[in-house]
Chains A and B, each alone.
Chain A
């Protein structure tokens, strides 16, 4: 029997599981996919937000602030990068310009006091490649870029190092509450836990149904993104944000930790919870928009295009509550800021747990918890003496890195998982040069071997 069963291995579930394992609770993380990050957390923009524009007094703002602080405190131990880009909220119209003082005021009320406005001239000094149509901007020095794949992986491995079990391909299909514990039916074996934490992302309302009539409904909101090749990386320094409208935060341009430039995301409501398709027209519109912001993007090559689904609900704020009598904690509606807020959410959830169920202490890590670095700002194996064979030339991924990703405590078990752990095949050629070699090294480790030998 476990103290805690966390349902869902997205960034939120990984951070929560890690918090409980570190707190000494016996913890199990249950994920339906063949790997963690099978849902919303698989594809996002990779930004560490300050919360400068979050709704005042919201739980979201609170979790973002504490999540941000904990990321900075924890990242060295876990070997996670921080690319200190800052952000610029750029005014493109006179109407936008009128809104900038309000943005600064909100930021200050939210406790981010270094946010300030600059004029068009200072903006063009900071970002010389930005379209000259820009009329001014708000500077948010604390908005940064992080590695969206390594962070949750590091949290999950940290959970593991503190004794948590991570079960993949383990979908929770039902459950019975016996008064002092939950018996969860899964596609694997029965899981018994004293407390259940629902972090099921786009399925959170369905999972909530195991416990009660859900008080919210998930309304997946798709975001499509285009990633430009490394030659575009230097076209801007800061994250370029638009002035938000009532409906959406709008499309941004940002560097990635992997040395690319990204444009997106879109915001499109849809029914399906697990299928995020890309759409030619939307991708072309993103590129068009990108060129209107940075004209020199013309002629830059696209490396990747992808889509993710934000687990939104009818409510603006996060839906996080404990039901003491049912020994259940709901963590839902972590729509568009979960990468930033996850560690803060975990703190908040741990607070609810201590308040309602049991105390938490401090466990000692059993193994080392640092993850391999994927970011360009920090040293990578290809630079070292005796680094061995470089397999992926676009992203300079070595055979050693691939080997490690396949044999670490939470190993990759499919190509997607391997790509997220190493960046292999994520570059401009998308496997033209290296896929055969990657598959040769990795397929013996994969559960579902996607390639079989041919006869000749």
Chain B
């Protein structure tokens, strides 16, 4: 017998969805996670940057995870279960202590999260010594295993997570030598850099590009280029931070449609994938949002799944595509199903590739139907309200950003 719902990933998005489903009276829900503990990424973020919206107070990641799990007490959460393949009609292949099995559900929700881009795909020149980590692995080494991987690392990138890396290092008694950011300003919001500089005494080098890594066994130095000049910084570790990508390997090897822009699955306004038995939410959809956003999305997707199980969500006979062009990087939902009215307050979420001041325009069959002047920065949310747009109408929808 198929379950009502299988949820892949017991992070904030998956747990929020499970809770919402239970509240809607759908209890045959199984949450699968390949780790030994539920909770997702917050399990290893030791600082108080979680929970304001969901629990009304700042919590550390582990506290936040614990609260979510308590809230999901009645949910069947199975850890140590890896999902290895997705097939049409809600059939998924798993491996656990029982070996490889096929299980099925009437609906499957994918909430597998996102991870940072490690060194190799960044194509950095130089040797390949040890001491090169991402923030995620640094956090787990420090907070879960009490390890001190190096003494004098540099941090590459300046998204919010880079400052998270700084706090993690501080917790382990390690002082970073510098934050190295190729852009002309930091990616995270100010005053992160001021905090780094004045409170922690760590220089933030903007306009600085990492050009090579040196060191035979352990990292010995990084070579950076800043305003045309090369400089070598002696260090014993490198933290590659940010440049998140969805953990979408399951999607890439499945029948589900993948969006090149986000790197995650294509979804409609009801969180449905191209195969409508599959839904997706959380950071799998988009690099990257906070845990609070993932949690809210998970709850919304849970509500949508409940509606679809009650028969209140019709299958679309048409899906209208929303296109974006450079310098827009991505938008989601990527499609609008004509079978359901867009929910009140539906927003398209988008990102830009680089800093642009200009006019953000929604065009329908080459006619501007909405526009606004914006100043967009990389990794900052750009929102386009769907209200007032007849987005279920068939035609060529395009969201563009023209500098000026």
Contact = CB atoms under 8 A, between A and B. Distances in A.
Interface of A: 227, 229-231, 274-275, 277-280, 283-284, 299, 301-306, 382-390, 393-394, 396, 415-416, 428-433, 435-437, 439-440, 448, 450-456
Interface in B91-150: 95, 97-100, 115-116, 118-121, 123-128, 130-131, 133-134, 136-137, 140-142, 144-149
B171 interface: yes
Given A439-B147, A450-B130, A454-B172, A387 B95 contact: yes
Report which residue of B84, B128, B137, B247 has the largest number of chain A beta carbons within 10 angstroms of its beta carbon: B137
Nearest to B119: A430
14 contacts: A275-B127, A278-B128, A301-B121, A303-B120, A305-B123, A386-B97, A390-B34, A390-B95, A393-B82, A432-B116, A435-B133, A436-B141, A437-B145, A454-B142
B145 A439 contact: yes
A317 B148 CA distance: 49
Interface string B207-240: 0000110001110000000000000000000000
A433 B149 contact: no
B401 interface: no
A283 B99 contact: no
Contacts of B133: 431, 435
A305 B84 CA distance: 25
Contacts of A382: 82, 95
B122 to A, nearest CB: 9
B249 A231 contact: yes
Given A396-B95, A452-B148, A456-B171, A278 B125 contact: yes
Given A384-B99, A396-B82, A436 B144 contact: yes
A283 B123 contact: yes
A439 B249 contact: no
B344 interface: no
**Across the A-B interface, the 9 shortest Cβ-Cβ residue pairs:** A430-B118, A436-B140, A231-B252, A454-B148, A454-B172, A385-B99, A302-B121, A451-B147, A435-B137
B97 A279 contact: no
A231 B251 CA distance: 9
B80 A390 contact: yes
A439 B99 CA distance: 26
A453 B252 contact: no
B253 interface: yes
B260 interface: yes
Contacts of B73: none
Contacts of A448: 217
A279 to B, nearest CB: 5
B123 A433 contact: no
Given A415-B130, A435-B137, A454-B173, 4 more contacts: A430-B119, A432-B134, A448-B217, A454-B148
